[in-house]
């Protein structure tokens, strides 16, 4: 949507088609706030038609096959589409079925997930109905979209229950080995966990859920399993590249759309570009990353059409507003190679109320009326700031 709008603004005469089956657009970054009771479900969805640029043809179908050697796509209605240039932004696939018993119990038995639009309100219902007991929160193997989301809801739940005087036994089960991929932020988050008296369990991967029996089973690194009881369970599902990309010539060995990490041009098909969660770029899969990527793709695609050098370069920027309590956010920003690049002249590990305003009010506005309109609003502007030292104690 962003690339199509940016291209139409730059060159109104371009023949552009948007291939997308969904009638709705979602502000997925808001679903954590829906689950935490700070935003309504209705605030995170709008009709897609409202945002499609004038002159862009909308093909309301899904893609079932890529044939890049013939510059052709196949659609789920059997039609084929020829293209001269292709931009792929298919997101990441949520593999709910890889956890035994999960799909059968989602939305009931106290089992929920903010990774689904229809379930985020149930998360808030679970928080409100919780009268005490054991609450588990899970994080699967990377990569996943918004790697901070699995713990954000833990903090919002802990803060809500503390203020309500509800006694909770909080546990975070993470397949990884730390609270965050960057030690700079992980140490600070260790402190947040301790403040809530929450227990982290690293090297634990959720493999099965028994909703009626209120148990969750985790696989350890050595292949052994442990089963944990719960009164509430928030699940972050396993995730992977979309199957249609995995099965196509566009994929790398791991199934992701294979693009150059800076130009976002496909490494083998010069007329193909990619952005967002479906690509092979080694950055965090966040909305902030997509916001930083779409101007690069737009500029570089136009330069390829004009046989000019590509001017755009993506530096791996990503951002994660970590909601550590209702009203306070730790704003983690970073780029390739783990460099911390804060947009503000302040320690990014310190949660601030001003960042909550960004998370709750400013970022949604930028998404709906900046990014989706193809406007390259220069906020945040990480390239104007050098990386900060991360050896601070």
* Strand 133-139 relative to strand 232-234, pairing: parallel
Tokens of 273: 């570009």
Q: Distance between CA 268 and CA 288 in Å, rounded?
A: 27
Among 63, 146, 241, 272, the one annotated catalytic: 146
186 Rama class: left (phi>0) / alpha (psi -120 to 50) / beta: alpha
**DSSP 8-state assignment for residue 279:** B
- 65-72 contacts, C-beta under 8 A, 24 or more apart: 65/244, 65/247, 65/248, 66/244, 66/245, 66/248, 66/249, 66/250, 67/249, 68/248, 68/249, 68/250, 68/266, 68/269, 68/272, 69/249, 71/271
Q: Which residues of 141-162 are buried (b: 16+ CB within 10 A; e: fewer)?
A: eebbbbbbbbbbbbbbbbbbbe
Among 189, 320, 322, 341, the one annotated catalytic: 320
Any catalytic annotation for residue 146?
yes
DSSP track, 186-209: HHHHHHHHHHTT-EEEET-EEEEE
Any catalytic annotation for residue 320?
yes
Q: Would you please indicate which residues are annotated as catalytic (active-site) residues? A: 146, 320
């Amino acid at each position: 949507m962003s690339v199509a709008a940016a291209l139409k603004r730059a060159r109104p005469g371009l023949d552009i088609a948007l291939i997308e089956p969904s009638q709705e657009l979602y502000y997925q970054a808001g679903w954590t706030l829906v689950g935490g009771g700070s935003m309504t479900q209705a605030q995170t969805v709008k009709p897609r038609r409202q945002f499609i640029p004038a002159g862009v043809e909308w093909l309301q179908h899904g893609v079932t096959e890529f044939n890049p050697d013939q510059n052709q796509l196949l659609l789920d209605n059997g039609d084929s589409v020829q293209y001269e240039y292709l931009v792929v932004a298919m997101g990441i696939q949520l593999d709910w079925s890889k956890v035994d018993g999960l799909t059968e119990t989602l939305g009931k038995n106290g089992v929920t997930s903010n990774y689904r639009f229809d379930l985020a309100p149930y998360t808030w219902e679970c928080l409100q109905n919780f009268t005490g007991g054991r609450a588990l929160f899970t994080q699967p193997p990377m990569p996943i979209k918004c790697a901070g989301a699995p713990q954000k809801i833990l903090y919002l739940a802990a803060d809500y229950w503390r203020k309500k005087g509800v006694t909770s036994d909080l546990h975070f089960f993470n397949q990884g080995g730390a609270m965050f991929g960057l030690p700079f932020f992980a140490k600070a988050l260790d402190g947040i966990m301790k403040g809530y008296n929450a227990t982290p369990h690293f090297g634990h991967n959720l493999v099965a859920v028994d909703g009626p029996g209120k148990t969750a089973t985790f696989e350890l690194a050595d292949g052994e399993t442990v089963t944990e009881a719960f009164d509430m369970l928030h699940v972050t599902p396993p995730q992977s590249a979309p199957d249609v990309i995995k099965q196509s010539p566009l994929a790398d060995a791991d199934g992701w759309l294979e693009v150059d990490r800076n130009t976002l041009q496909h490494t083998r098909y010069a007329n193909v570009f990619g952005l967002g969660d479906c690509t092979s770029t080694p950055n965090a899969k966040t909305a902030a990353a997509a916001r930083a990527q779409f101007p690069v793709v737009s500029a570089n695609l136009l330069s390829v059409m004009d046989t000019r050098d590509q001017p755009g370069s993506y530096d791996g920027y990503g951002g994660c507003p970590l909601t550590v309590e209702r009203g306070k956010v730790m704003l983690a920003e970073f780029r390739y190679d783990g460099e911390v690049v804060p947009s503000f002249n302040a320690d990014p590990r310190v949660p601030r109320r001003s960042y909550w305003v960004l998370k709750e009010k400013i970022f949604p506005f930028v998404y709906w009326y900046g990014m989706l309109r193809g406007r390259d609003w220069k906020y945040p502007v990480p390239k104007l700031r050098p990386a900060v030292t991360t050896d601070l104690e």
